[in-house]
Amino acid sequence: MAVSLSTWVLISNFKLAYNLLRRPDGTFNRHLAEFLDRKVPANANPVDGVFSFDVLIDRGTSLLSRIYRPATAEEPQPNIAELEKPVTAEVVPVIIFFHGGSFAHSSANSAIYDTLCRRLVSLCKAVVVSVNYRRAPENRYPCAYDDGWTALKWVNSRPWLQSQKDSKVHIYLAGDSSGGNIAHHVALRAIESGIDVLGNILLNPMFGGQERTESEKRLDGKYCVTLRDWDWYWRAYLPEGEDRDHPACNPFGPNGRSLEGIKFPKSLVVVAGLDLIQDWQLAYVEGLKKAGQEVKLLYMEQATIGFFLLPNSNHFHTVTDEISKFVSSDCIKTIGERIMQCIGALLCVDYVCLFKCFLG
């Protein structure tokens, strides 16, 4: 089980830094955290075809988001008045991204996440909205979910993000670690709201529970993370006095809510084989399946956490391919096209030809 040297150095360094920041009494050395976190500014000049700018979504909570957009051929150099120009394509996926950091670390403008979001734009031809949600322990549950929900409502109400095809915003929720957890809970909140979430992408999502699972015992301390670290983060995020069977942490646990019969978005869940909380992530996938929800599991046996931060492994490319397929598969699916596709499949006919004939 070999990992590249760069990845090892990166993850090790994070582990080291994180250990400096968590105090045994449950407080967090926020000043040092901000000092150590490598951040990058937004850049309205396209770099590799992607430009970014920061927007204040909610003044009351200082909720910032960084928006990433692809530069177009006609507009290779957007000026500041045109950052919010309407998207022009028929279908433009808008991915609302929640960065990781176990609810306590990192920001939307952390270098690792800025890089990741830029990749997502190129990969999915999408607009990416990276949400700078409030973090623990200063802001506990449900602040991060509230901020995610605010961002979702904001994105959904931007006229300039509406796809030309149906004047609606095509929204996906994505996140890694705590971000994955947030994506799930925001999707839950969206259910009765009338806001359509087309899909959830969860990378090594952060879930847990009171019980100690097999993977937790087996992998405790083996790959940069210990069980005690996870316990600390849950204690920092969950309301005081709550245990890890709180539904925020354990959505399909004893206090969870059933998703049967609910219109929950399809999910892509990526689990790393060397992640000690994988049993909880796999239980999450099972929970979705049992409730009749559409979910695809990508189990990367030899991957450690954070493998998607550097593009230097097979795991990275496998996952990015799947994400791209997950998002683009909706780009062609109006009701009519879906019907055509079904008929085509039944008749073993190229549905695109059929559709064109249908149009005359």
Partner 1 sequence: MLRYDSTSSSAGSSSGSLSSSSSSSKPPQQDIDGLLAGAGYKVRSSELRQVAQRLERLETAMGNSPADFSQLASDAILYNPSDLACWVDSLLTEFAEPPPTCSSDFIVDPVNNQTVVNSAWTAAEPHTPQVHQNITYDEQQSLDNQLTVVTAMEEDSGIRLVHMLMTCAECVQSGDLSLATSLIDDMQGLLTHVNTVCGIGKVAGHFIDALSRRIFQGMGGGSVNGGSAFENEILYHHFYEACPYLKFAHFTANQAILEAFDGHDCVHVVDFNLMHGLQWPALIQALALRPGGPPLLRLTGIGPPSPDGRDSLREIGLRLAELARSVNVRFAFRGVAASRLEDVKPWMLQVNPKEAVAVNSIMQLHRLLGCEQTRNSPIDTVLSWIRGLNPKIMTVVEQEANHNQPGFLDRFTEALYYYSTMFDSLEACRIQPEKALAEIYIQREIGNVVSCEGSARVERHEPLAKWRRRLSGAGFRALRLGSNAFKQASMLLTLFSAEGYSVEENEGCLSLGWHSSPLIAASAWQAVPAWDNHMSSS
Give the x/- contact pattern for partner 1 in 308-337, rule: CB under 8 A.
Answer: -xxxxx------------------------
Q: Are strands 197-203 and 127-131 parallel, antiparallel or unpaired?
A: unpaired
Rounded CA separation 52/78 (Å) = 10
Rounded CA separation 289/298 (Å) = 14
| Nearest-5° Cα angle at 175, 305 to 192 | 140
Is 357 an interacting residue with respect to partner 1 (CB under 8 A)? no
Rounded CA separation 283/297 (Å) = 11
From the list 1, 335, 346, 348, which residue makes contact with partner 1 (rule: CB under 8 A)? Answer: 1
Residues 95-114 that bind partner 1 (CB under 8 A): 109-112, 114
Is 26 an interacting residue with respect to partner 1 (CB under 8 A)? yes
Is 31 an interacting residue with respect to partner 1 (CB under 8 A)? yes
Q: Which is nearer to partner 1, 85 or 333 (CB)?
A: 85
Rounded CA separation 205/182 (Å) = 9
- Look at the block and give the residue holding tokens 């993850």: 11
Is 76 an interacting residue with respect to partner 1 (CB under 8 A)? no
Residue 293 tokens, joined: 């929800």
From the list 217, 218, 228, 325, which residue makes contact with partner 1 (rule: CB under 8 A)? Answer: 228
Q: Which is nearer to partner 1, 6 or 258 (CB)?
A: 6
Q: Does residue 177 have an active-site annotation?
A: yes
Backbone angles phi, psi at 73, to 5 degrees: -65, -40
Residue 151 tokens, joined: 């961002």
Which residue in 177, 178, 215, 267 is the catalytic one?
177
Is 27 an interacting residue with respect to partner 1 (CB under 8 A)? yes
From the list 102, 106, 130, 139, which residue makes contact with partner 1 (rule: CB under 8 A)? Answer: 139
Is 80 an interacting residue with respect to partner 1 (CB under 8 A)? yes
Catalytic residues: 177
